[in-house]
Structure 1
Amino acid sequence: MSSTAVFRSRLDRAAAAAADAGFDALLVTPGSDLRYLIGAQGGSFERLTCLVLPADGSAATLVVPKLELLGYESVLVDGLGVEAATWVDGENPAKLAAGLLRNPKRVAVSDFTPALHVFGLRDALAGVDQALAGPVIRELRMRKDDSEIASLREAGAAIDRVHARMAEFLRAGRTENEVAADIAEAILEEGHAVAEFVIVGSGPNGASPHHSASDRVIEQGDVVVIDIGGPVPAGYNSDSTRTYSIGAPRDADVAGTYAVLQQAQAAAVAAVRPGVTAQDIDLAARKVIADAGFGQFFIHRTGHGIGLDVHEEPYIVDGNDLPLEPGMAFSVEPGIYQPGRWGARIEDIVVVTEDGVESFNNQPHELVVLGE
């Protein structure tokens, strides 16, 4: 299927989903939702750009500043069926967008629309019920098609190649920031468009799941959490965590505790199959960790969906009773974090298949000892 046909299908399905949800239109500003629907990568600035997608199947229109039209011309092609409505400074683009709709009663606005534009659209559509578009669009985006899965597989292989090079960067005497800079360069070298994030958590910093990198000097015996990722050129993201030790771990409990974590991550991946709920996967990991006495040290959900965003639906967390379906892709990343001492996490991106699961990350899950 051509890219034009793919985007045309997504627009049609999004319009139908909006109608089923009781909306008269979707209003989608730049971001991952707009990229998903029409392939546009523009950013959101003080000037409004907005795709107006009627739910009745009539033509979609991209409201765009005339000075930015050139950046969108590649998506305004024959076959896609998206028209352009341009505006210039001094005109009210929210009123232009509102005027494209025929007596709407309820519209859905993309989740990450800046407040500046949310308020403008609210005023231009006074009396019209407005809600978030996320619940509509995520139903499409959660289920990846073959081309999306291929891009996620490519991203997974690319980030695996970076982890395979970790001995080049990670050693005692270097700061976390120095290691992170080298990893970011490698992420680009191995096929990513951007190094979206690099976490280097050494020693006690590894007990902070969202630590980034610091001037701490990595020491012999440190356990180090490396969580890295970013988009490949097609826009789909990698996200993989492995835990390393600089020589033999200084703490005697590392081997036993890490073995529990490895068992928990494997149990969660093994539980993935169609029909199992998202919370079941979380429970599969959490039970192993809790039964071993480390429950209080597993302080986040087991996973998150991934695609054009690093974090998107479905979320693998207690309370999410969503049944998994083929094409749903997400992380499986339990962790054990002991404040003031050390932490560890193992993360793979997986996709639900027709009869089970495929992992996009295939680097070793064991604690990798470097520098011996």
Structure 2
Amino acid sequence: MTVFHDTKVDRRALRAWRLGRVREKLQERELAGILLYDPVNIRYATDTSNMQVWTMHNAVRYAFIATDGPVIVFDFHATKHLSEGIEVVDEIRGARSYFYFGDGPLMEDRAKQFAREIDDLVRTYGGNNRRLAIDKIEPHGLLALLKRGVLVENGQEVMELARFIKNDIEIAAMQEAVDACEAAMWRMREVFRPGITENYLWSILNQVNAELGGEWIETRLLTSGPRTNPWFRECNHRVIEAGDIMSFDTDLVGPGGYCSDLSRSWLCGGGKPSDEQRWLYETARRQIEDNIAMLKPGLSFREISERGSPLPEDCVGNRYSVVVHGVGLCDEYPAVPYIQDFAHSGYDGHLEENAVVCVESLVGRVGGRECIKLEEQVLITADGARRLSSFPFEDHWL
């Protein structure tokens, strides 16, 4: 069973719900089935995992889900036992790889073998329907499927829209991940002092997550002092000094495979923030609270972008990539950018009840010394946004 921690979540009910969501989207699009390579999508549909990070870049594991038929997990060498006991998995087979590390000059021949097996499944369970969704695939495999007449459709759309809406069981599972993340943040707070390195502080987050059954962290976004501005540097051996702002983004895949994506900024050394640090923090706090307050079912992504709390002019150039993004097993649909970016990177849609989103704020002057990074994870309810996180902000600065 793919559960590495003590849990009160009914995993059988969770699996039934998630597989049902996938098949609902397949039926809506009149697809014969879906082929999944992304380990996060495989986890969502089957609740099985195998070396998740390694299989993200080595195509040795995939799953076939018939719209009306079986769920078949194709697993890596001698690891069929990892999916045993998962009731939504009907069959376990050995995977056929066709990438250069594993197959060298035999890639093309092995891709043909792979395509023959998948084509047979589409014919068996799809009948005259040759339309198969695929989330991602190596070029040789795609070409081999197309040559056999399989009509390949966009599986990423299927999975992102399936994962968009949660039920109460999923929210309970996500809450376990958020609770583990906050336990790690409290441990970080205990050791946070002048003289430690960014790497050391980030390692505490990683350690506690693993200790509590978490799985991995997607980034190393923890920086201090002048390394916070501009954002997106990752932690290194810099020693954090008294008076530095330290900002971090958890990006944490916790217990049960669910993501806890929170951001906070702290002042090192226990003193008082400078006037500039206080202004940055007040601006970020106001922005994140205003943006949370407007969220509700039916609000369009364009409206979020247009109505989102604006940044001061000298901070616009340092704006974050999104105002709001979805979250589940990892960052998910939708991604809602600032209005300045909507024309070239935005798309429309609507928030729905039981979606979970993260609300982002990054505030730092262009050319300034530091940035404040804040982020909250919220559930969209009929009455608006309900926070899943409870870790405090530095409101005594305000």
| Common topology (TM > 0.5) | yes
1:252 aligns with 2:275: yes
Aligned to 2:242, what secondary structure does the other structure show? coil
Aligned partner of 2:384 in structure 1 is: 356
Matched with 1:208 is: 230
2:364 is paired with a residue whose SS is strand
Instruction: Quote the Cα distance in structure 2 between the aligned partners of 1:345 and 1:87.
Output: 42
Distance 1:48 1:174, change over 3 A: closer
- Among residues 59, 62, 68, which one is paired with 1:50 in the alignment? 62
- d(CA) in 2 for partners of 1:72, 1:235: 16
Partner residue of 1:109? Answer: 134
1:164/1:94 Cα in 2 relative to 1: closer, same or farther (>3 Å)? same
Aligned positions of 1:253-272 closer than 5 A = 253-272=276-295
Partner residue, 2:141: 120
Moved more, 205-214 or 348-357: 205-214
Judge conservation of contact 1:27–1:107 (CA < 8 Å) in 2.
Answer: yes
Q: Is the 8 A contact 2:43 2:49 kept in 1?
A: yes
Q: Is the 8 A contact 2:177 2:256 kept in 1?
A: no
Deviation of 1:9 after TM superposition, in Å, equals 4.8
- Is the 1:162–1:183 Cα contact (8 Å) retained in structure 2? yes
1:21 aligns with 2:43: no
Q: Does 1:74 align with 2:91?
A: no
Q: How does 1:224-239 map to 2 (within 5 A)?
A: 224-239=246-261
- Equivalent residues in 2 for 1:143-154, closer than 5 Å: 143-154=165-176
Alignment of 1:148-297 (within 5 A): 148-189=170-211, 192-246=214-268, 247-248=270-271, 251-287=274-310, 289-290=311-312, 294-297=315-318
Distance 1:190 1:105 in 2: 44
Q: Equivalent residue for 2:5? A: none
Whole-Å separation in 2 of the counterparts to 1:11 and 1:83: 15
Contact 1:245 1:368 (8 Å CA) reproduced: no
1:297-328 residue CA offsets vs partner (Å, 9 max, x unmatched):
3242123211112x111223243432111111
Structure 2 distance, partners of 1:368, 1:166, is 19
Q: Which residue of 2 aligns with 1:304?
A: 325
1:107-162 deviations in Å (ceiling 9; x for gaps)? 21123x4x2xx522431441333132011122210001111111222222222233
Do 1:25 and 1:107's aligned partners in 2 also have CA atoms closer than 8 Å? Answer: yes
SS at match of 1:224: strand
How far is 1:35 from its partner? 1.1
Match for 1:341 among 355, 364, 369?
369
Residue 4 of structure 1, CA deviation: 4.0
* Paired residue secondary structure (2:248): strand
Structure 2: 5+ residue stretches without partners: 1-8, 98-108
Residue 368 to residue 219, structure 1, CA distance change in 2 (3 Å): farther
Give RMSD over aligned pairs.
2.9
Residue 23 of structure 1: how far off its partner (Å): 2.6
Instruction: Note the C-alpha offset of 1:165.
Output: 3.7
d(CA) in 1 for partners of 2:211, 2:16: 34
Structure 2: distance between partners of 1:2 and 1:185: 26
Q: Give the counterpart letter for 1:51 in structure 2.
A: A
Deviations 1:244-273 (A, max 9, x none): 112446753221232111100000111111
- Report the Cα distance in structure 2 between the residues aligned to 1:85 and 1:158, rounded to whole angstroms: 34
Aligned with residue 93 of structure 1, among 96, 102, 114: 114
Per-residue CA deviations over 1:200-256 (Å, capped at 9, x if unaligned) read: 211111113322211222122211102224233211111211111124467532212
Contact kept, 8 Å, 1:159 with 1:190, in 2: the verdict is no
Q: What does residue range 296-335 of structure 1 map to in structure 2 within 5 Å?
A: 296-309=317-330, 311-317=331-337, 318=342, 319-335=346-362
Aligned-partner Cα distance in 2 for 1:235–1:343: 30
Residues of 2 paired with 1:342 and 1:5: CA distance? 46
Q: CA deviation at 1:2?
A: 5.8
Q: Match for residue 41 of structure 1?
A: 49
* 3-state SS of 1:333 partner: strand
3-state SS of paired residue (1:220): coil
Residue identity over aligned pairs, in percent, reads 23
In the TM superposition, structure 1's runs of 4+ consecutive aligned residues that sit over 6 Å from their partners are 87-91
**2-structure distance, mates of 1:71, 1:50:** 13
Deviation at 1:355, TM superposition (A): 1.6
Unaligned runs of 5+ in 1: none
Inter-partner Cα distance in structure 2 for 1:280 and 1:249? 38
Of 58, 72, 77, the residue aligned with 1:61 is 72
Secondary structure, aligned partner of 1:347: strand
TM-score, L = length of structure 2: 0.79
Q: In the alignment, residue 315 of structure 1 is paired with which amino acid?
A: A
Please say if residues 246 and 266 of structure 2, whose CA atoms lie closer than 8 Å, have aligned partners that are also in contact. yes
Work out whether 1:130 is the aligned partner of 2:141.
no
Q: Match of 1:137, SS?
A: helix
